[in-house]
């Protein structure tokens, strides 16, 4: 979710669900060790529980970055072993690390020894055309010995050559049964499933077999789904939220960000464009909130325009 789940996106999602765990976009160890730490690690207090996802392969660097994440207040450190992009591969991390489980284990152990918060791993069920269950089983077994107890499993292979990151989320077939086998073989571990989940029926089915479900693209493009999660999965009372209340809260947030950090509302609003997904007038509402010609306009006025008379005719 690079360039998607930034702190503004996570603030928006937290308005919809108070209990779902949020994950940062993947941040490389190089960016933290040689770049602007505050820019990469700053987050809103409202985001808790929130996990820092790291990209890297050098154990010492991972340990240093995990300590930074803990010092900044993150609730979990997650190592990405699932991203298939060529740029990430050139950095020798992401999905290609699944071919080096001992190196991943060394990195995990270094982080576990360095921090007191949980260290987790996100990975695929295989790489390239290797579709043997033994491959992912041995990967999980090796990394678990280093102290990782939670594995977030994207139930697709990652093809390291020939497919774009987008195609890697769609073309390799989903094989949920391999994730179920991992839970059977590693009953003591927390196994969380990821990939292709778009309905409550699907999620509920998987939660009967596994310890959790991670939702990515569907949560971003159809965010209102999250408004039911606290009741559905965390035993909270029925939500009294409305889309209009959430939109107003985001406008208030835009105003605070503009005053405190000179942040343009335009870069924040992009994350909520799916809020009215499927409703009459949603197309015009999105057009107004994504109109670059309105960048200099107060977001309160933009909201009024988005709900103006033309909305009924849209």
Query: Which residue from 90, 154, 147, 87 is spatially nearest to 117, judged by alpha carbons?
Result: 147
Q: Are 305 and 293 in contact (CB under 8 A)?
A: no
pLDDT at 313: 33
Q: What is the pTM of this model?
A: 0.93
Q: Examine the residue annotation and report whether 83 is marked as an active-site residue of this protein.
A: yes
Architecture of domain 7-234: Alpha-Beta Barrel (3.20)
Decide: residue 306, CB within 10 A, 0-12 exposed, 13-18 middle, 19+ buried.
buried
Mean pLDDT of 91-113: 91
Task: Tell which CATH architecture fits domain 243-313.
Answer: Up-down Bundle (1.20)
Confirm if 117 and 75 have CB atoms less than 8 A apart. Answer: yes
The mean per-residue pLDDT over the stretch 232-248 comes to 96
Buried b (16+ CB within 10 A) or exposed e, 185-200: ebeebbbbbbbbbeee
SS3 191: strand
The predicted-structure confidence for 261-309, as pLDDT tens digits, reads as follows 999 999 999 999 999 999 999 999 999 999 999 999 999 999 999 998 7
Q: What is the pLDDT of the chain when averaged over all its residues? A: 93
Please name the residues in contact with 187: beta carbons below 8 A apart, sequence gap of 6 or more: none
Catalytic hit among 9, 65, 81, 83? 83
Domain boundaries of the chain, sorted by first residue = 7-234, 243-313
Chain segment 122-178, per-residue pLDDT in tens: 999 999 888 899 999 999 999 999 999 999 999 999 888 766 777 767 778 999 999
> What are the pLDDT digits (tens) for 42-51?
999 999 999 9
Strand partners, 77: 52, 119
* CA nearest to 55, candidates 36, 83, 23, 22: 83
């Amino acid at each position: 979710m690079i360039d998607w789940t930034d702190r503004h996106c996570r603030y928006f999602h937290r308005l919809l669900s108070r209990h779902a765990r949020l994950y940062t976009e993947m941040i490389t160890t190089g960016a933290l060790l040689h770049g602007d730490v505050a820019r990469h690690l700053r987050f809103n207090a409202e985001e808790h529980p929130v996990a820092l996802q790291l990209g890297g392969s050098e154990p010492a660097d991972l340990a240093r970055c995990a300590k930074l994440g803990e010092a900044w207040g993150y609730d979990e450190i997650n190592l990405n072993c699932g991203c298939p992009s060529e740029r990430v591969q050139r950095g020798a991390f992401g999905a290609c690390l699944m071919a080096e489980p001992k190196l991943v284990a060394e990195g995990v152990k270094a982080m576990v020894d360095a921090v007191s918060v949980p260290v987790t791993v996100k990975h695929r069920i295989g790489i390239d055309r290797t579709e043997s269950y033994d491959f992912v089983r041995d990967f999980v077994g090796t990394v678990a010995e280093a102290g990782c107890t939670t594995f977030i499993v994207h139930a697709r292979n990652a093809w390291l050559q020939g497919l774009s990151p987008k195609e890697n989320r769609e073309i390799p077939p989903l094989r949920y049964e391999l994730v179920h086998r991992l839970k059977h073989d590693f009953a003591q571990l927390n196994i969380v499933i990821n990939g292709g989940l778009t309905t409550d029926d699907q999620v509920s089915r998987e939660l009967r077999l596994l310890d959790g479900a991670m939702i990515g693209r569907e949560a971003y493009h159809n965010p209102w789904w999250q408004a039911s999660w606290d009741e559905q999965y965390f035993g909270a009372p029925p939500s009294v939220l409305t889309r209009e209340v959430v939109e107003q809260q985001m406008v208030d947030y835009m105003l605070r960000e503009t005053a405190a950090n000179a942040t343009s509302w335009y870069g924040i609003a992009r994350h909520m464009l799916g809020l009215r997904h499927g409703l009459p007038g949603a197309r015009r509402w999105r057009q107004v909130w994504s109109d670059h010609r309105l960048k200099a306009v107060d977001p309160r006025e933009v909201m009024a325009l988005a709900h103006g008379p033309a909305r009924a005719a849209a």
